[in-house]
Amino acid sequence: MRRVPLLLLLCGAVAADVQDLQSRVFHARDRVLPALVNVQVVTETFQGGRRRQMTAGGSGVVVSADGLVVTNFHVAGHAKKVFCTLADKTRVRAELLGGDPSTDLAVLRLDLKEIKRLGGSFKVATLGRSEGVQVGDFVIALGSPFGLTASLTSGVISNTERYLSSSQRLPTGEPTGMFNNWIQTDAAINPGNSGGPLVNLSGEVIGINTRAITGDGLGFAIPVDTVKRVYTQIVAHGSVVRSWIGVDRGLEPLGLESEVRGVRVGHVDEGSPAAKAGLRPGDIIQAIAGKPVEAVHLDQIASIRSTIADAPLGKPLTLRVRRGEETVDLSAVTERLGALKLEYFDARRFGLTARPVTERFARQRGLKSTAGVVITGVTGGGPAAAADLQAGDIILKVQRKSVESLQSFRKLYREIQKDMPEKVLVSIQRGQARMFRALTPSKKDEEDDE
């Protein structure tokens, strides 16, 4: 008989806890849902050697009173037109301020005049901190899955520093995930949720939803501390400026068995500041700018890359290095990490699309310069395909004139359009080999070329 009152007390306590959790979810929802926006974009894709326009969608969150919205780069980073639907169903134009493919973030500016004219309104979400997030914290994820209107899912934080391979690329081709780990959650993140906020029960944004492994309960968000750093630079400069010394791709964890602290250098880019400073593969970096660094596991690498990227540009960066039994101090003068956003050109009468040779691409391929353009696709049965040009070839010359950049390639292409020769001589590099190809440009007057 004595157990009955105790059972009732326990049931009452559980009910009270459930009610408290429900109240906190409602509180978090009401603080952030009015700041949620549905993002619709008109963008361009370059597939199969052709440029095509397409519409896409995602989510975003208003983070300032002057209408600035944070979303994903893969949602809006290449947008030609952007429209945002506010929580009150008002649909307005927006402007892309800039983006950062490395962290998959972009910033939009809402048209405040249009919002006022249409009688719309929005609220501003509060950006919290991700540093104190713990495994097991309850969270809600907001967004517009599958093009539907505002949706809420809930769950917990599964991991606070999830490492995802740094070799991953966005749908538009840019590398991403080099400088941050991810918050993992089991709150459902479906297609269309990208760019929406991950929110704690205090109603603060702690991350931006980015990707998921559909059906497995694995969702990933960019930590808000990363978001704030990137957002500040995009608003100020339109992009993120990062320092580079030439070891981004070559840092390796030492593992638990190592008696030495630090991070191993597996590769040093040829001609890079690190190479000029004397850094060698096999060296162990133990401190950067006087700050000790350590990587036992892969998930510690991103923060070390970020330490280098955040170093002052064009200034000496001191590296304390363990080499065998010896410890030496090296000084590498940082250079700017090249822009990672890719620009494409549709050379329709050649039957191919191309993009610049970026500094990063040149380093990876061991090229001595960024001259030329990279073929990204060829049209089946088109002039480029008939001339045995392939995706990945680097065009160095057209009609014996050097191609220094994508802009110079555009100029040469337009000159050829005016003259319309029977054959166009193209010099390419394929792997380590250089060769010539002669293509017959199409004379068909298709859609206007760029």
DSSP 114-153: HHHHHT-----PEE--STT--TT-EEEEEE-GGG-S-EEE
Domains in the chain, ordered, with CATH?
A: 33-118 (2.40.10.10), 126-237 (2.40.10.10), 243-336 (2.30.42.10), 345-439 (2.30.42.10)
Which tens digits make up the pLDDT trace of 319-344?
999 998 899 999 999 999 877 777 88
Predicted pLDDT at 288: 96
Confidence of residue 215 (pLDDT cuts 50, 70, 90): low
Q: Give the 3-state secondary structure of residue 443.
A: coil
Go through 169-180 and write b for each residue having 16 or more CB atoms within 10 A of its CB, e for each that does not. Answer: ebebebbbbbbb
Predicted pLDDT at 166: 60
Go through 77-94 and write b for each residue having 16 or more CB atoms within 10 A of its CB, e for each that does not. Answer: bbbeebbbbbbeebebeb
Mean pLDDT of the region 60-78: 95
**Nearest 5°: phi and psi at 264?**
-80, 140
Q: Give the 3-state secondary structure of residue 273.
A: helix
Is the predicted pLDDT of residue 4 greater than 60, yes or no? no
Tokens of residue 394, six digits: 């680097």
Is the predicted pLDDT of residue 369 greater than 90, yes or no? no
Confidence of residue 444 (pLDDT cuts 50, 70, 90): low
Q: Give the 3-state secondary structure of residue 227.
A: helix
Predicted pLDDT at 448: 45
Cα–Cα dist 353/61, whole Å: 34
Is the predicted pLDDT of residue 59 greater than 90, yes or no? yes
Sole residue written with tokens 């593992």: 255
Percent over 70 (pLDDT), the chain: 93
Q: What is the CA radius of gyration of the chain?
A: 26
Predicted pLDDT at 341: 74
Confidence of residue 11 (pLDDT cuts 50, 70, 90): low
Confidence of residue 449 (pLDDT cuts 50, 70, 90): very low
CA nearest neighbour of 54 among 39, 41, 71, 37 = 41
Cα–Cα dist 214/190, whole Å: 7
**Bigger pLDDT: 419 vs 414:** 414
Q: Give the 3-state secondary structure of residue 230.
A: helix
Tokens of residue 72, six digits: 């994903």
Amino acid type, 72: N
Cα–Cα dist 190/205, whole Å: 18
**Nearest 5°: phi and psi at 35?**
-100, 0
Cα–Cα dist 318/274, whole Å: 10
Cα–Cα dist 183/198, whole Å: 9
Q: Are 159 and 184 in contact (CB under 8 A)?
A: yes
Predicted pLDDT at 174: 81
The separation between CA 448 and the C-alpha centre of its own chain, rounded to angstroms, equals 31
Cα–Cα dist 421/407, whole Å: 21
Residues serving a catalytic function are: 74, 104, 194
Q: Locate the DSSP E strands across 341-431.
A: 345-347, 352-356, 373-378, 394-398, 401-402, 424-430
Residue 56, strand partner residues: 41
User: Which of 101-110, 278-287, 434-443 is predicted least confidently?
Assistant: 434-443
Is the predicted pLDDT of residue 168 greater than 60, yes or no? yes
Predicted pLDDT at 167: 64
Predicted pLDDT at 17: 64
User: Which of 106-115, 126-135, 184-193, 352-361 is predicted least confidently?
Assistant: 352-361
Residue 256: CB atoms within 10 A of its CB come to 7
Mean pLDDT of the region 51-64: 90
Mean pLDDT of the region 123-149: 92
Residue 233: CB atoms within 10 A of its CB come to 17
Q: Are 199 and 28 in contact (CB under 8 A)?
A: yes
User: Backbone dihedral region of 112: left (phi > 0), alpha (psi from -120 to 50 degrees) or beta?
Assistant: alpha
DSSP state of 448: P
Tokens of residue 400, six digits: 């014996």
Q: Are 317 and 334 in contact (CB under 8 A)?
A: yes
Is the predicted pLDDT of residue 447 greater than 90, yes or no? no
Confidence of residue 417 (pLDDT cuts 50, 70, 90): confident
Tokens of residue 214, six digits: 């559909």
Is the predicted pLDDT of residue 8 greater than 70, yes or no? no
User: What is the reported pTM?
Assistant: 0.81
Mean pLDDT across the chain = 89
Which tens digits make up the pLDDT trace of 251-297?
999 988 778 899 999 989 888 899 999 999 999 999 999 999 999 99
Q: How far is CA 72 from CA 57, 66, 88, 193, in A?
A: 11, 19, 22, 10
Task: Kindly give, in sequence order, each residue whose CB lies less than 8 Å from that of residue 10, ignoring residues fewer than 6 positions away.
Answer: none
CA nearest neighbour of 223 among 207, 247, 245, 239 = 207
Cα–Cα dist 293/287, whole Å: 5
User: Backbone dihedral region of 372: left (phi > 0), alpha (psi from -120 to 50 degrees) or beta?
Assistant: left
Q: How far is CA 260 from CA 251, 276, 334, in A?
A: 15, 25, 26
